[in-house]
Amino acid sequence: MQWNRLRRARKRAREALQHAKHLRRMREDILTSAQLNDVAEAERRIRDALRSGAGAEPLDAASELLYEALGRAAPPRRAASLREHAEVLVVAVAVAMAFRTYFLQPFKIPTGSMQPTLYGIHSREDDNPGIADRVLPLKVAKWMITGEWYKRVTVEVPGEYKGIRFLNDDPSVAIAQVGPIQYKLPRDARPRFRPGAYLEYGTLLWAGYVTAGDHVFVDRVRWNFTRPKRGLVMVFTTD
């Protein structure tokens, strides 16, 4: 038991020295000479205790003195616990995104050109949404379960309808322009008006359901060690 207590005391003393080293690197340029001397003196006492083979009580006392000096040199910040949890959350999200990007990147199929083998993003017109499509919490729940999202696009600024064009960098959407405003529509949305028509405020451009369709996971590891077989769905690039 005595040996175990001594081991913990020596470990705590070394951790205190590491904290002091970190503090000097982070705040040495803004600390006063008195604060630096206070920390240095406490560090010296711990090192002397470690070299002399002091017992647990002297080590704990020296560690406590150093932590007190560190506390005077760098007072605890407000909401320190909240900051720590936020840092942990950011790191966890970064690790998850890195893992997703390099190992389990789902490829979103932008169109329905591969139906019925794979159903990409597709839409169907419907001017009468249900109750689950009008209440936001129910709408989000429906999207998470079915991948279906109700969308309604109306003219915000009256003007001339200039037609629909498609984007090369996002093949899942089409751009309808009315006056100075551009509106995103599903790629397979059928135009309701001819170019040149003047549309008033509130005119319905498109309303209906957009379905996310299938997602294909890009396997970046497996095909380095085995050969593909006939009938497998594969994605070689997602550019």
- What mean pLDDT, rounded, does the chain reach? 82
Query: For 5-57, how does the pLDDT look when each residue is reduced to its tens digit (9 = 90+)?
Result: 888 888 988 998 898 888 888 888 888 888 888 888 888 888 888 888 888 88
- Residue with more model confidence, 63 or 219: 63
**Of the candidates 128, 126, 154, 94, the residue with the CA atom closest to the CA atom of residue 211:** 126
Please name the residue that has the structure tokens 């429906």.
Answer: 142
Q: Is residue 126 part of a domain?
A: yes
Same domain (yes/no): 117, 207: yes
Q: From its phi and psi, is residue 14 left (phi > 0), alpha (psi between -120 and 50) or beta?
A: alpha
Residue 28 inside a domain? The answer is yes
- CATH number where 144 lies: 2.40.50.100
Where does the pLDDT of residue 198 fall: very low under 50, low under 70, confident under 90, or very high at 90 and above? very high
pLDDT digits (tens, 9 = 90+) for 95-143: 888 877 666 666 666 666 666 667 777 788 888 888 888 888 888 888 8
Which sign does the torsion angle of CA 48, 50, 54, 57 carry? positive
Please state the domain count of the chain: 2
| Domain extent for 196 | 110-213
**Report field, pTM of the whole predicted structure over 0.85:** no
- The reply to whether 207 and 126 lie within a common domain is yes
The DSSP result for 27-66, as a single string, is HTTTS-HHHHHHHHHHHHHHHHHHHTT--HHHHHHHHHHH
Last residue in a domain, options 25, 44, 73:
73
